[in-house]
Amino acid sequence: MFICVIGISLLRNLFAGAILLSVYSLLAACLFIIMDAVDVAFTEAAVGAGISTILVLATILYTGQECQRHIKIKWAPLVLSLAVGGLLIYGTMDIPAYGKKDNPIHQYKVTKNYLEKSQKETGAPNIVTVILASKRGYDTLGEVVVVFCAGIGVLLLLGGFKRKSKNKLNTTNETDNEEVPS
Amino acid sequence: MTDWHAIITYWAVITLLVFGLYIVTASSNLVKKIIGLNIFQAAVFVMYISMAKILNGTAPIITDKINEFSAYSNPLPHVLILTAIVVGVSTTALGLALIVRIKQSYNTIEETEIRQQEQTEKE
């Protein structure tokens, strides 16, 4: 995983970056399986490693593969990210240990309620499914709304251009496409 | 302070997160920025899931053989991250669509070149 990330930050070729991103997502999915989150692993492998990569590759098809190389390290972003990392590491000093049964997150009564009662109430053995579809159904509805909005946005952004480009051929003016067509 | 190997997963997550943040802020190529954003996102997902894990536990699917394991892992973060993955992909799609349009308007996806073009436009 670390090799992938370092490769992405060093490589100049965007195609290699997209493929490494796919590998990174797949490794993240493997981590999720190790951590007993099988549903999340499915989703990450299908959506993160699959659909994201296809989207990035489609974009690269339009925009070209090469990006400018900056040999010198940019200091301001480096300092910023290292500062954020340092603060987070400082934050982990008080965090509960990994994988202990008596961590506060496992003592919370909502979780216990879900674990004990969900099969009796809905009849489905997979608790993640029960919470996603039944107990937090509104959450999932909101997620679907977000996906719908994103789909509309993409269609407007990409479909609206064709109409504009016809006008552009007449005027030969190159830079007035800022506004999103409604 | 807890034992170092008890929090080493969090440190790994933080390292990935720092790399993602660096790619987002340092690269001037817009597609690369989106890739960095995805790395950042996946690191946060791993952190949430690692909180839900119980050692010797099993996935939160009710079985009769639960006595072989100590407990089910916590299902609540799993649900949150399932939602977050899908939302993350839709934001990625929207960002990439914006990049395609920027390419069509400015004929480049390098931030520095776009800024240069705007400068010459003003003058």
Residues A132-147 pLDDT 10s = 887 788 888 888 999 9
**Nearest in space to B31 (alpha carbons), one of A19, A63, A147:** A63
Residue with the larger pLDDT of the pair B82 and A63: B82
Helices and strands, counts by H and E, chain A:
9, 0
Question: Residue B119 has what pLDDT?
Answer: 86
Burial of B117 from C-beta contacts in 10 A (0-12 / 13-18 / 19+)? middle
Q: pLDDT tens across A64-74, in order?
A: 777 666 556 67
Mean pLDDT of chain B: 82
**Taking a C-beta distance cutoff of 8 angstroms, is the pair A67, A12 a contact?**
yes
Q: Which residue has the tokens 């016809």?
A: A166
Q: Rounded to an integer, what distance in angstroms lies between the CA atom of residue A108 and that of residue B75?
A: 12
Q: Using the beta-carbon criterion (under 8 Å), do B60 and A24 form an inter-chain contact?
A: no
pLDDT in tens, B34-60: 888 998 998 899 888 888 887 777 777
- Per-residue pLDDT, A145: 92
Give the residue range(s) of CATH 1.20.120.1200 domains in chain A.
1-69
pLDDT by position in tens, chain A (length 182): 667 667 666 677 778 888 888 888 888 888 888 888 888 888 888 988 888 899 988 888 888 777 666 556 677 888 888 888 888 888 877 777 777 777 777 777 777 777 777 777 777 777 788 888 877 888 888 889 999 999 898 888 887 655 555 554 444 443 444 444 43
Q: What is the pLDDT, as a whole number, of residue A68?
A: 62
Between B75-106 and A109-122, two packed helices, what is the crossing angle to 10 degrees?
90
Cα within 13 Å of Cα(B9), Cβ side: 21
User: Is the Cβ pair B26, A51 closer than 8 Å?
Assistant: no
Chain A closest-CA separation from residue B98 CA (Å): 7
Would you tell me how many other CB atoms lie within 10 Å of the CB of residue A115?
19
Look up residue A48 and give its two tokens: 């993160």
pLDDT number for residue B61: 77
Mean pLDDT lowest among A28-32, B6-10, B74-78: B6-10
Interface touch A147/B86, C-beta < 8 Å: yes
- What CATH number is given for A1-69 in this structure? 1.20.120.1200
Minimal CA separation from B99 to chain A, in Å? 8
Candidate from B16, B50, B83 with C-beta closest to A98: B50
Sketch out chain B's domains with CATH numbers. Answer: 4-122 (1.10.287)
Nearest to B46 by CA among A5, A14, A151: A5
Give the CA count within 13 Å in the CB-facing half-sphere of A161: 18
The residue ranking higher by pLDDT, A138 or B109, is: A138
Residue A174: per-residue pLDDT: 39
Q: Which residue is closest to A116 within chain B, CA to CA?
A: B62
pLDDT of residue A175: 40
**Between B2 and B108, residue with greater pLDDT:** B108
Task: Please report which helix (H) or strand (E) contains residue B28, including its range.
Answer: none
pLDDT greater at residue B108 or residue B15: B15
Q: A91 to chain B nearest CA, in Å?
A: 10
Angle between helices B8-26 and B30-52 (to 10 degrees): 160
Tell whether A42 is within 8 A of chain B (Cβ): no
pLDDT value at residue B3:
65
What is the per-residue pLDDT for B68? 66
In this structure, what token pair is assigned to residue A178? 């800022």
Q: For residues A154 and B93, is the Cβ–Cβ distance under 8 A?
A: yes
